């Protein structure tokens, strides 16, 4: 690659690196394509890792595009758990990558040394990996090769993801089978398309390996491993002992269906992670900071010590004024909340301050920079024996949450929730009463009672926690407005103790719950990396507290630019840039990000203009200010096809992979696609014609069924009209009447009576046959309908050989006649 001298915005040349800029030390590792060495930048004494790749090996294995992609991705990723790539350079035979140095080396070594990790260590590493992968997936990056050999540990024990050789940046599914055998997902083994979920699968594999010491699907042969992966043949040994929560997390990650695997957000919220993981991500017995200097926020003066500026807006500057910024000897800058170390009225006197600053009040202190650093260091070595507790108290809107912490462990917690605010009102009942509007409703009385009950419950709890307050070093409170009276009696707190410092929480607090109290505490004690280059790497000569950097000999180096700034500027100039950070083709070392006419033609959808510009020699690999190639801006299919047609006829002219053009489009391919499309269209038309025919047949069938039903209905109606003239007359006269409930009940009674008469008649007939009774009277014969001269009382039809329907002294041939005759009698 050819070096090019790039100009920065201010006109100063960018740093060009060479091997003479580094003192190369011992080898750190060896790979297939090169070696990694410990190195130190000559000017700044900054320690880095120098990865040396031999060009001969690149030519032999044809890994140009893979290396370019690795550099492109790793350069642009900025996360505390991702190994930084600061820059690169080359000579005639080798390519050198300037990497962040991970002091403790591969996690694989520690895993083999200890056999397996504790649940606390494993959960912390899984949490760090999850957060880093969530960041990568937001940038559309899939790692695809996460394993203990590719995970490094820095001097604090913080995990770093390295080796992005198999990584890919893509919004669509991929089909390449890559990675390491024991960590492959089922969709890769079965040669199916895969997406981000392969990284989630690997998290389950790593969690199992951290806890048991071996991958879950390890087998003697490759084919056996493939079979176990495809079957998800997951077994949990009896030793070492692993909690059921950890097994649950592993089981929910190692699911064959990628859509059912636990999401990264759900992993962070899993109970096993919450109970065991250290939010700081540090797994080390001596979690100490190598502090080189400490500073206040940007543009901070002694007049701005007080955070209460009336009418001030909540901006980033106001947040920064509540933080302390610490420069580490590694060149990084971190921040902590001031309330973690000092009180609100305390001030800090920096080493470059020319004025002597006194205290800001009776209870305030003026702390030197070294005193604050000493407090920060002591904070990391506090004994966890219940003598240095921290308490969080949250009270708002009828909700209270209290939590006692010893380090990261919860010693005690309690929550209260009372109905004290009327819906859609937004005020407590006591506030309304204070305004002079006395309300005597049941709801108001209930709210008044709940306010008093809540205050009593909180005061009783604070009294019960007296031993915790006596052993606490700090109490963090959040009680806005009149909620303060729940915790304070005037200016005196109910939990008053001379040892404890009472400090307000400088964060936005949601409804007080146990989960919210834990979240607030984790935010307060967390050390945040400040990764914005313009703030972290400021080299201005202003004598402000934020620009002080203490060198190894103790003198202040203010005016000389830091070499690490050049390293990081080579890596990436803006944190918010997308991952498609430009990596040049072989003829360049860097490329200028500008919008070309090819970008404009592609974005406007002018296919002819695009083809014309490509034939004129415009570079399709050029990227605009947002890192997008012309092909990425194309919204029309014809424009994209123009790029692909030109690629087919000029395959070796450009690096089409860098141009993001997926594949060539030849004339034969277009003809084949047209034939396939025509075949699809013909099938679609035939299918539509068939559906139309079926629809017509169905309509005809439905019409025929409707006609048959209509004719059947007409026949029934004609049969009903044959009952007789009187029946027709009465039916017509009563057709419009509504049947009442009483009529239905009467008809039901008559049916039951008729059935009873039939049973009696049957019994009488049986008795006559057996000769057990005398001759049945004529009246009985009439009732049974055995006489041949009896007719229907309504229509006159003979009842001979029939069992009649009876009502009173009348007999009927059918129930219809019975109802009609009943209505005739009622009208008469």
More confident of the two residues 780 and 58 = 58
Whether the pLDDT of residue 785 is over 60: the answer is no
Assigned token pair, 376: 């920060």
- What pLDDT, in 10s, does the model give residues 707-729? 888 888 887 776 655 555 555 55
- Which whole number is the average pLDDT over 719-748? 60
Closest CA to 415 of 431, 402, 432: 402
CA angle 49-324-561, nearest 5°?
A: 45
More confident of the two residues 378 and 583 = 378
From the list 66, 74, 429, 603, the catalytic residue is 429
Whether the pLDDT of residue 165 is over 50: the answer is yes
Per the DSSP assignment, residues forming a β-bridge with 396 are 399
Position 89 confidence tier, pLDDT thresholds 50, 70, 90: very high
Angle (deg, nearest 10), helices 244-253 and 119-138:
30
For residue 429, indicate whether it is catalytic: yes
The answer to whether the peptide bond before residue 616 is cis (omega within 30 degrees of 0) is no
Q: What pLDDT shows up at residue 383?
A: 81
Q: What pLDDT shows up at residue 284?
A: 54
Q: Report the length, in residues, of the chain.
A: 828
Position 272 confidence tier, pLDDT thresholds 50, 70, 90: very high
- Which whole number is the average pLDDT over 174-196? 88
Listed as own residue / partner, the contacts of 188-197 with beta carbons closer than 8 Å and 24 or more positions apart are 189/226, 189/229, 189/230, 190/230, 194/258, 195/142, 195/258, 196/137, 196/142, 197/258, 197/259, 197/261
Whether the pLDDT of residue 753 is over 80: the answer is yes
Listed as own residue / partner, the contacts of 415-424 with beta carbons closer than 8 Å and 24 or more positions apart are 415/512, 415/513, 415/514, 416/454, 416/457, 416/458, 416/461, 418/450, 418/451, 418/453, 418/454, 419/446, 419/447, 419/450, 420/447, 420/450, 420/451, 420/454, 421/397, 421/447, 422/447
- For the chain, how far is it from start to end, CA to CA, in angstroms? 118
- Which whole number is the average pLDDT over 18-40? 86
CB 419 within 8 A of CB 446: yes
Q: What pLDDT shows up at residue 553?
A: 34
- Which whole number is the average pLDDT over 295-308? 36
> Hey, what domains does the chain have and what are their CATH numbers?
106-238 (1.10.510.10), 389-522 (3.30.420.40), 597-665 (1.25.40.20), 744-827 (no CATH)
What is the chain's Cα-based Rg? 43
- Which whole number is the average pLDDT over 747-761? 82
**Cα–Cα distance, 806 to 813 (Å, whole number):** 9
At 254 the three-state DSSP class reads: coil
- Which whole number is the average pLDDT over 793-798? 86
- What pLDDT, in 10s, does the model give residues 99-128? 999 988 899 888 888 889 999 999 999 999
Main-chain phi, psi angles of 529, to 5 degrees: -80, 130
Closest CA to 659 of 681, 636, 638, 628: 628
**Cα–Cα distance, 686 to 709 (Å, whole number):** 35
Q: What pLDDT shows up at residue 96?
A: 93
Assigned token pair, 691: 């559906």
Query: Does 55 carry a binding-site annotation?
Result: yes
Could you give the C-alpha distances from 478 to 299, 324, 389, 486, 729, in angstroms and in order? 28, 21, 18, 11, 89
Closest CA to 161 of 209, 129, 200: 129
- What pLDDT, in 10s, does the model give residues 481-520? 788 888 887 777 887 665 678 889 988 899 999 999 999 9
- What pLDDT, in 10s, does the model give residues 206-232? 999 999 999 999 988 888 899 999 999
| Mean of per-residue pLDDT scores for the chain | 77
Whether the pLDDT of residue 586 is over 80: the answer is no
Q: What pLDDT shows up at residue 587?
A: 36
């Amino acid at each position: 690659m050819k070096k090019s001298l790039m100009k920065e915005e201010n006109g100063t040349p960018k740093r060009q690196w060479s091997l003479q800029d580094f003192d190369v030390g011992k080898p750190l590792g060896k790979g297939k394509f090169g070696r990694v060495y410990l190195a130190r930048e000559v000017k700044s004494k900054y320690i880095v890792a120098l990865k040396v790749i031999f060009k001969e090996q690149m030519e032999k294995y044809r890994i140009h595009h893979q290396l370019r992609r690795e550099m492109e991705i790793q350069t642009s990723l900025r996360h505390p758990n991702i190994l930084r790539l600061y820059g690169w350079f080359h000579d005639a035979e080798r390519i050198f990558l300037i990497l962040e140095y991970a002091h403790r080396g591969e996690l694989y070594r520690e895993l083999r040394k200890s056999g397996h990790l504790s649940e606390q260590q494993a959960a912390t590493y899984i949490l760090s990996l999850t957060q880093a992968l969530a960041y990568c997936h937001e940038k559309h990056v899939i790692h695809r090769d996460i394993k203990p050999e590719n995970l490094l540990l820095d001097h604090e024990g913080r995990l770093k993801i390295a080796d992005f050789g198999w990584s890919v940046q893509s919004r669509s599914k991929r089909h390449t089978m890559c990675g390491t055998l024991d960590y492959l997902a089922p969709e890769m083994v079965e040669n199916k398309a895969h997406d981000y979920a392969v990284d989630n699968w690997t998290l389950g594999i790593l969690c199992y390996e951290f806890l048991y010491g071996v991958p879950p699907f390890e087998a003697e042969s490759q084919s056996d491993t493939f079979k176990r992966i495809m079957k998800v043949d997951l077994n949990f040994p009896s030793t070492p002992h692993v909690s059921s929560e950890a097994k649950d997390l592993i089981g929910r990650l190692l699911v064959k269906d990628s859509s059912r695997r636990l999401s990264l957000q759900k992993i962070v919220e899993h109970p096993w992670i919450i109970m065991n993981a250290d939010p700081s991500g540090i797994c080390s017995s001596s979690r100490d900071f190598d502090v080189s200097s400490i500073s206040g926020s940007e543009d901070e003066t002694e007049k701005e010590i007080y955070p209460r500026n009336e009418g001030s807006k909540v901006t980033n500057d106001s947040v920064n004024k509540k933080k302390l910024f610490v420069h580490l000897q590694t060149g990084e800058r971190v921040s902590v909340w001031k309330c973690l170390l000092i009180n609100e009225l305390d001030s800090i006197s920096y080493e470059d301050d020319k004025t002597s600053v006194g205290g800001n009040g009776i209870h305030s202190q003026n702390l030197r920079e070294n005193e604050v650093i000493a407090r920060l260091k002591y904070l990391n070595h506090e004994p966890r024996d219940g003598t240095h507790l921290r308490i969080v108290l949250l009270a708002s809107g009828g909700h209270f949450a209290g939590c006692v912490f010893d380090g990261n462990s919860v010693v005690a917690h309690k929550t209260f929730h009372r109905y004290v605010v009327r819906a859609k009102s937004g005020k407590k009942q006591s506030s309304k009463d204070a305004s002079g509007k006395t309300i005597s409703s049941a709801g108001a009385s209930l709210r008044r009672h709940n306010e008093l009950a809540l205050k009593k419950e909180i005061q009783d709890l604070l009294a019960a926690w007296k031993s915790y307050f006596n052993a606490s070093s700090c109490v963090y409170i959040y009680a806005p407005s009149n909620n303060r009276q729940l915790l304070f009696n005037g200016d005196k707190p109910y939990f008053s103790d001379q040892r404890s410092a009472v400090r307000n929480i400088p964060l936005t607090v949601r409804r007080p719950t146990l989960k919210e109290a834990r979240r607030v505490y984790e935010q307060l004690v967390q050390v945040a990396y400040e990764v914005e280059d313009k703030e972290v790497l400021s080299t201005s000569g202003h004598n402000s507290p934020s620009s002080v950097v203490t060198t190894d000999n103790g003198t202040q180096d203010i005016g000389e630019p830091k070499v690490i700034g050049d390293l990081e500027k080579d890596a990436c100039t803006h944190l918010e840039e997308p991952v498609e950070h430009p990596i040049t083709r072989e003829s360049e070392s860097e490329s200028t990000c500008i919008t070309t006419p090819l970008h404009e033609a592609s974005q406007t959808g002018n296919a002819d203009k695009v083809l014309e510009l490509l034939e004129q020699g415009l570079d399709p690999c050029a990227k605009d200010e947002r890192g997008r190639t012309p092909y990425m801006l194309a919204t029309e299919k014809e424009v994209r096809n123009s790029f692909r047609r030109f690629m087919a006829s000029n395959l070796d002219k450009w690096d089409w992979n860098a141009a993001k053009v997926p594949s060539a489009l030849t004339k034969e391919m277009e003809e084949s696609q047209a034939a396939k499309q025509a075949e699809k269209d013909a099938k679609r038309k035939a299918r539509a014609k068939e559906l139309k025919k079926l629809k017509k047949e169905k309509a005809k069938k439905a019409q025929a069924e409707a006609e048959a039903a209509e004719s059947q209905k007409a026949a029934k109606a004609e049969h009903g009209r044959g009952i007789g003239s009187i029946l027709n007359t009465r039916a017509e006269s009563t057709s419009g009447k509504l049947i009442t409930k009483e009529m239905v009940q009467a008809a039901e009674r008559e049916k039951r009576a008729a059935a009873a008469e039939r049973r009696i008649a049957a019994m009488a007939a049986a008795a006559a046959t057996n000769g057990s009774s005398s001759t049945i009277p004529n009246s009985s014969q009439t009732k049974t309908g055995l006489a041949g001269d009896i007719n229907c009382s309504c229509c006159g039809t003979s009842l001979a050989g029939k069992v009649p329907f009876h009502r009173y002294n009348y007999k009927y041939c059918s129930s219809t006649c019975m109802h009609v005759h009943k209505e005739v009698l009622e009208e008469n």
